[in-house]
Amino acid sequence: MTAQSVDERRLREVALTPGEYRAIVEELKRAPNEVELGMLGVLWSEHCSYKSSKALLRRLPSAGAAVIQGPGENAGAVNIGEGWAAVFKIESHNHPSAIEPYQGAATGVGGIIRDVIAMGARPIALLDSLRFGPQPASSHHVEGVVAGIGGYGNCIGIPTVGGEVYFEDCYANNPLVNAMCVGLVRVERLMRARAEGTGNSLMLVGADTGRDGIHGASFASLELDETSSERRPAVQVGNPFLEKCLLEACMDLAHTDAVVAIQDLGAAGLTSSVAECAGRVDGAGAHIDVARVPRRERGMTPYHVMLSESQERMLVVVERGREAEVEAIFQAWDLTSAVIGHVTDDGHLTVVDGAEKVARLPISLLTDGAPPRRLVGVAAEQPPGLDMNALPPLVDAGAALLRLLASPNLSSRRGIFRRYDHMVGDATVIPPGGDAAMLRVKGTRLGLAVTTDCNSRYCHLDPHLGAQLAVAEAARNIIATGAHPLAVTDCLNFANPDRPEVYWEMEETIAGLAHACRAFELPIVSGNVSLYNDSSGESAIYPTPVVGMVGLIDDYGKRLSAGLRGEGDFVLLIGSSQNDLGGSEYLKVEHGLVAGRPPALDLARERAVDRLVLAAAENGLLQSAHDCAEGGMLVALAECCLLGGIGVRCPAIRPEVPLRMDAAFFGESPSRFIVSLSSRAMPELQSLARRHHVEISLLGLAGGDSIQFEGQFRLPLAEIRQAWEGALT
Amino acid sequence: MRSIWTVTSADEWPDPGGPCIFAAWAAGPLVKFGVVVFPGTWSDRDCGWVIDQVLGAELQYLWHKDADLKGCDCVILPGGFAYGDYLRTGAIARFAPVMEKIADFADRGGLVWGICNGFQVLCEAGLLPGALIRNSSLEFRCQWTNLVVERTDLPYTSQCGEREVIRVPISHGEGNYFADPATLSRLEQRGQVVFRYCDAGGRVTNSANPNGSMHNIAGIVNARGNVLGMMPHPERCAEVELGGTDGLKLFRSVAESAMKVLVS
């Protein structure tokens, strides 16, 4: 087979371009055989190689004082003190979820859990950032994905504590399922998936290998089209029970020092896990005998074995001569383990099938060989502007509030998160439903706040600003619990980057993320890119850079939640409101418009507001705190009341020109919180606010069973709750 | 034999809250809890946490392959998805080697306490009547529930007040208690219903029933009163930080009653 004679159809099957094929031949100085072609195809897929995004991703900041492990490993890790490291990562499972929602979402959860386990950490929390098309047409996606997340997470016994769900037209054919996992490990026990030590054994543990998921990574690197449902066999089937046993066995590995490294088998299966593990050590290679891989079915070829994406498998690098110790640990959990090869020092991945040679490829060609794709970005068409003067004035704020709270993007998520076990582990000290969730670190007073955020409508209207707003909002969610933002993991979802306007969105988004993370001094320690989220060349998704953030509070006894706590408490708005309705839910729900620019973000002012709230929380001044986000001040205030079960009495809002009434109530200016505190704490808060140069304004007093703005509207909480909880059931 | 009079540091123990029957209570571990671990069990660690760190009693994990209960005074079958529960909840777990010993132990009057998946296993094993079928919503439910305590003369509930309403979370997809009419009326006649889902005021209503259980049943006991099965998770509400401490009352009840047995 030569570059000329290779079947183009075959190339398409392994998702390689003729140019890439030529690069392979040039490097190998021969034509690759079938197995090698398949191995290179999956590892050079966008999903594994990041060939379209690598150059941009280098711009993201990843260093910081607390960072113990940045990007490049199975997950990132930060030091949280008292000898503990928090390990976390977010990853997409969009394409599989589009065609097989239940299993796609379930195996997405399973995969991200294994990434955390591979670092030696015990997973303590899951979050899921979801995007769907409008209801009810998207019901089968919503139903399947939510059931799949619950089916896996509930069974394995890791609490699902947070995430987000949004509905937009652009996700109708391309739902997004981004799963984040957070784990804990003693700093000295943090593992790295490096195939160190020539001669050390490579053991494959967990599930037997079947023919499922072959070409999954390649499939995830293509646009969806009408034939995509034929790809259903490329979606794997999850077995959370097996993964639970695998998890416990891997935790038991801590009892032995025979283990050098653990690596998850995810996209591209054995091929990528062996190559990545060896690729992290200079000059290392690996020798694999596929005949020794335990199989689920007969008739599997070496090609199948090397490319299978069967779930619930791990690669363990074990010190030579100590394999029996490790085998015994897995055996106790009734798990199969098999020595399938060993680490070499020849820099090559050699695959044999018993006595027969199957493949031999340089590790560097597999992991770093894919020629970077030089794509060109061209600014997308400017989205429609917003003429505020053409908007009819707000007539009835109360009625608008009810409509907003009943809209799919703002309604209560209880109907979803009550289907997830969010309590197992006895560590969830702030449950889902507020801003960030919080997990305590047992045996200490430390609390980890966790959240995911992204308003993709903002990103659509202005990707650079939208990405910054996503970081800012995630930080506010963390801060609203009293915790300090610590580090970020990101899941960057885009459409087809071959289209110049999409690549431009990528450039802008990543620049915005980098800018905001630098301003907040937040390192991005792990992440994932998902491209080709469009269908048959149309219905491209909005750029959706989901920001997963972890924060830390040194005493979770000082944590804050969003709900009002006491009758008579002062309810305050921290930060100032701009005359801003661009990209807002109000505009969409009340006027059917997605237009304008997202609200302006002044990062210096944002940080000042954040510092004020953190200082007030640390000094014990606050009873509650809640981020003002989608739906603006009034929706945030209603949430404070609904979550606390207490109403609020406010004098009429009389905004000063040029601030319009609708913008005052429903504008989405960032850098704002709603807090409550006892009257005694007011003087101290006022002086803190002066010191931080932050505007604070008294909204009203907590109390009663209604939300009331004197002379403007009065709504019973029961009626508001009905609207809020009625939408997503 | 462990002496109930062994005194260790009293500082280690949380305030028991409420009058102690014996002064020795605050002095040291008096009861040994066994927590069974099947593959797929996940409440084992939460039960262990409460027993060891909150209650301060002695904790012994029991592996599903164990053929020995290691001198435990009370054996807990915790929540989870034993063996994945792919067939029918608890259907495989009942055949685990440890279950034979647990049945013997129950026969001799030992305390066997099934929580969530443990309740399902006890029903499958025939140690409790009835079955747990899919929630009427056909969905998994993780939420707080109110339970009215209908028996306070049991080793599990002695610290609860008469018809006290306690708040305990549920987390299950198959917690819908089902029994044939004869079994159900026998349970009611003999007062074997220990916990019923109710509203905050203690009223047993349809809207307070989270899973469609017959007669709002959340937990039952065998006729002898030593084998308890309940769907809600008391190990998830033993500390203020987690939203409530009513679950700790049940653990304390067991600790105190085990002590009484030792003394008598």
Please state whether the peptide bond connecting residue A136 to the residue before it is cis, i.e. omega within 30 degrees of 0: yes
Does B171 touch chain A if contact means CB atoms closer than 8 Å? yes
* Alpha-carbon span A562 to B39, nearest angstrom: 38
Find residue B14's DSSP bridge partners.
Answer: none
* Alpha-carbon span A559 to A394, nearest angstrom: 37
When CB atoms are compared, the residue of B79, B81, B235 closest to A241 is: B81
Domain assignment present for residue A354? The answer is yes
* Alpha-carbon span A201 to A191, nearest angstrom: 17
Contacts of A431 in chain B (CB under 8 A): 243
Contact (CB<8Å) B81/A425: no
Cβ A412 vs Cβ A638: under 8 Å? no
Does B84 touch chain A if contact means CB atoms closer than 8 Å? yes
Q: Which of residues 183-242 of A touch B (CB under 8 A)?
A: 239-242
Does B155 touch chain A if contact means CB atoms closer than 8 Å? no
Contact (CB<8Å) A244/B85: no
When CB atoms are compared, the residue of A423, A425, A440 closest to B142 is: A423
Cβ-proximal residues to B11 (8 Å cutoff; 6+ apart), any chain: none
Does A244 touch chain B if contact means CB atoms closer than 8 Å? yes
Q: What is the mean pLDDT of residues A231-258?
A: 88
Which one from B74, B198, B233, B256 is the annotated catalytic residue?
Answer: B233
Domain assignment present for residue A78? The answer is no
pLDDT at site A6 = 73
Asked if pLDDT for residue B164 goes beyond 60, the answer is: yes
pLDDT at site B263 = 55
Q: What is the mean pLDDT of residues A182-193?
A: 96
Specify whether A464 is catalytic. no
Cβ A115 vs Cβ A314: under 8 Å? no
What would the pLDDT profile of A300-338 be if each residue is shown by its tens digit? 999 999 999 899 999 999 999 999 999 999 999 999 999
Cβ A342 vs Cβ A287: under 8 Å? yes
Half-sphere exposure of A47 (CA within 13 A, CB side): 29
Q: Which of residues 381-420 of A touch B (CB under 8 A)?
A: 417-420
Of the residues A368, A399, A419, the one at which a domain ends: A368
Of the residues A350, A368, A386, the one at which a domain ends: A368
| Helix ranges restricted to H, A406-481 | 414-417, 456-461, 463-479
Domain assignment present for residue A173? The answer is no
Mutate: best of B81, B141, B142, partner A, most A CBs <10 A: B142
Q: CATH no. for residue A566? A: 3.90.650.10
The mean pLDDT of chain A is 94
Which of B58-91 are b and which e, b meaning 16 or more Cβ less than 10 Å from the residue's Cβ? Answer: bbbbbebebeebeebbbbbbbbbbbbbbeeebbb
**Torsion over CA: B71, B76, B80, B83 (sign):** positive
Q: What is the mean pLDDT of residues A265-287?
A: 94
Asked if pLDDT for residue B261 goes beyond 80, the answer is: no
Alpha-carbon distances, residue B184 vs B90, B149, B198 (angstroms): 21, 18, 18
Contact (CB<8Å) B171/A154: yes
Q: What is the mean pLDDT of residues A457-469?
A: 97
Q: What is the DSSP string of A164-233?
A: EEEE-GGGSSS-EEEEEEEEEEEGGG-------STT-EEEEEESPB-STTTTHHHHTTS-B-TTGGGGGG
What is the number of other CB atoms lying within 10 angstroms of the CB of residue A298?
5
Contacts of B238 in chain A (CB under 8 A): 426
pLDDT at site A728 = 59
Which one from A93, A141, A287, A460 is the annotated catalytic residue?
Answer: A93
Domain assignment present for residue A415? The answer is no
What is the number of other CB atoms lying within 10 angstroms of the CB of residue A352?
18
Does A559 touch chain B if contact means CB atoms closer than 8 Å? no
Domain assignment present for residue A722? The answer is yes
| Helix ranges restricted to H, B161-225 | 181-189
* Alpha-carbon span B37 to B60, nearest angstrom: 10
* Alpha-carbon span B248 to B252, nearest angstrom: 6
* Alpha-carbon span B133 to B135, nearest angstrom: 6
Mutate: best of A329, A335, A413, A426, partner B, most B CBs <10 A: A426
| Helix ranges restricted to H, chain B | 44-49, 97-107, 117-124, 181-189, 246-263
Cβ B219 vs Cβ B250: under 8 Å? no
Strand A713-716 versus strand A673-677 pairing type: unpaired
Q: What is the mean pLDDT of residues B148-162?
A: 97
Domain assignment present for residue A121? The answer is no
Contacts of B239 in chain A (CB under 8 A): 426
Contact (CB<8Å) A426/B171: no
pLDDT at site A228 = 66
Q: Which residue of A has its CA nearest to B42?
A: A157
Contact (CB<8Å) B236/A426: yes
Does A421 touch chain B if contact means CB atoms closer than 8 Å? yes
When CB atoms are compared, the residue of B40, B143, B169 closest to A241 is: B40
When CB atoms are compared, the residue of B140, B143, B235 closest to A154 is: B140
* Alpha-carbon span A687 to A696, nearest angstrom: 11
Q: Which two tokens stand for residue A598?
A: 């997202």
Domain assignment present for residue A187? The answer is no
Domains along the sequence of chain B with CATH: 25-263 (3.40.50.880)
pLDDT category, B22, cuts 50, 70, 90? Answer: very low
Please state whether the peptide bond connecting residue A134 to the residue before it is cis, i.e. omega within 30 degrees of 0: no
| Helix ranges restricted to H, A29-175 | 34-43, 46-49, 54-57, 94-99, 101-118, 139-156
Which one from A47, A304, A460, A692 is the annotated catalytic residue?
Answer: A47
Q: Which two tokens stand for residue A88?
A: 């976390």
What is the number of other CB atoms lying within 10 angstroms of the CB of residue A151?
21
Q: Which two tokens stand for residue A10?
A: 């075959």
Does B97 touch chain A if contact means CB atoms closer than 8 Å? no
* Residue entry with tokens 């979803």: A416
pLDDT at site B257 = 85
Domain count, chain A: 3
Does B38 touch chain A if contact means CB atoms closer than 8 Å? no
Does A328 touch chain B if contact means CB atoms closer than 8 Å? no
- Give B159 to chain A, closest Cα distance, Å: 22
* Coil, strand or helix at B83: helix
Asked if pLDDT for residue B21 goes beyond 80, the answer is: no
Strand B111-115 versus strand B74-77 pairing type: parallel
pLDDT at site A536 = 72
Specify whether B58 is catalytic. no
Contacts of A155 in chain B (CB under 8 A): 40, 81, 84-85
What would the pLDDT profile of A58-96 be if each residue is shown by its tens digit? 999 999 999 999 999 999 999 999 999 999 999 999 999
Asked if pLDDT for residue A441 goes beyond 90, the answer is: yes
Q: What is the mean pLDDT of residues A166-172?
A: 96
What would the pLDDT profile of A507-555 be if each residue is shown by its tens digit? 999 999 999 999 999 999 999 999 999 987 667 999 999 999 999 999 9
Q: Which residue of B has its CA nearest to A422?
A: B142
The separation between CA A99 and the C-alpha centre of its own chain, rounded to angstroms, equals 20
Contacts of B97 in chain A (CB under 8 A): none
Domain that holds residue A358: 192-368
Q: Which two tokens stand for residue B49?
A: 């946490």
* Residue entry with tokens 């998921």: A213
Contact (CB<8Å) B242/A426: yes
H/E element, A430: strand A428-430
Contact (CB<8Å) B84/A242: yes
Domain assignment present for residue A639? The answer is yes
* Alpha-carbon span A426 to B251, nearest angstrom: 15
Q: Which two tokens stand for residue A219?
A: 């499939």
Q: From edge to edge, which strands make up the β-sheet containing B141-149?
A: B58-63, B32-37, B74-77, B111-115, B227-230, B217-221, B193-198, B141-149, B165-172
When CB atoms are compared, the residue of A150, A245, A426 closest to B235 is: A426
When CB atoms are compared, the residue of A150, A155, A429 closest to B84 is: A155
Cβ A583 vs Cβ A457: under 8 Å? yes
When CB atoms are compared, the residue of A245, A424, A440 closest to B241 is: A440
Contacts of B83 in chain A (CB under 8 A): 241
What would the pLDDT profile of B104-138 be if each residue is shown by its tens digit? 999 999 999 999 999 999 999 999 999 999 999 99
Structure pTM? 0.94
Half-sphere exposure of A34 (CA within 13 A, CB side): 5
Find residue A336's DSSP bridge partners.
Answer: A206
- Give B44 to chain A, closest Cα distance, Å: 9
Contact (CB<8Å) A419/B85: no
Asked if pLDDT for residue A216 goes beyond 90, the answer is: no
pLDDT at site A266 = 86
* Coil, strand or helix at B26: helix
Contact (CB<8Å) A154/B50: no
Asked if pLDDT for residue A255 goes beyond 90, the answer is: no
Chains A, B: CB pairs < 8 Å: 81
Does B54 touch chain A if contact means CB atoms closer than 8 Å? no
